Amino acid sequence: MTRDGSSDDDFSIIPIVGMDGVGKTTFTHLIYNDGACKGFDPKVWVDQSYDDVDVANETLLNMRKWYFKEYQLNAQLTLRKEFSQKRFFLVLENAQSNNIVDNWKGLKFAFMFGAPGNKVIVITRD
């Protein structure tokens, strides 16, 4: 994960696609907890990604960052600030195919400001 030759990129997206029960989540947990992933901070696992604002809020919540429900529209800006100049590892589990493209447009803004070599794993059935 850390020596794949893409360290000059801002971030890499790694899709893990398959039917229910084939071990996508188990496999991703092995990667997420592997010692080779120590160089990432923050490391965040987000389940049930519905839309870009929900994903941003859930990511901040999982990072134990305080946010207010009434400031949801600022979640993407706050996430951008939290990821800025940091090498992050993010897992988006249960991504729905009908939301992935729309979610990505909003989340990409936050991801673009991280340090080089970031990883985003997307786990989906679709």
For the stretch 19-32, pLDDT in tens is 989 999 999 999 99
Residue carrying structure tokens 């990432």: 40
Residue 20 placed within a domain: yes
- Residue 124's SS3 state is strand
pLDDT tier, 6 (very low <50, low <70, confident <90, very high otherwise):
very low
Quick check: 9 pLDDT over 70? no
Query: Residue 77 is encoded by which pair of tokens?
Result: 């800006």
Residue 3 placed within a domain: no
The bridge status of strand 11-17 relative to strand 118-124 is parallel
For the stretch 47-104, pLDDT in tens is 765 566 677 777 777 776 554 444 555 777 788 888 888 898 989 888 776 666 666 7
- Domain interval for residue 62: 11-124
Count of structural domains within the chain: 1
d(CA 4, CA 38): 15
Residue 6 placed within a domain: no
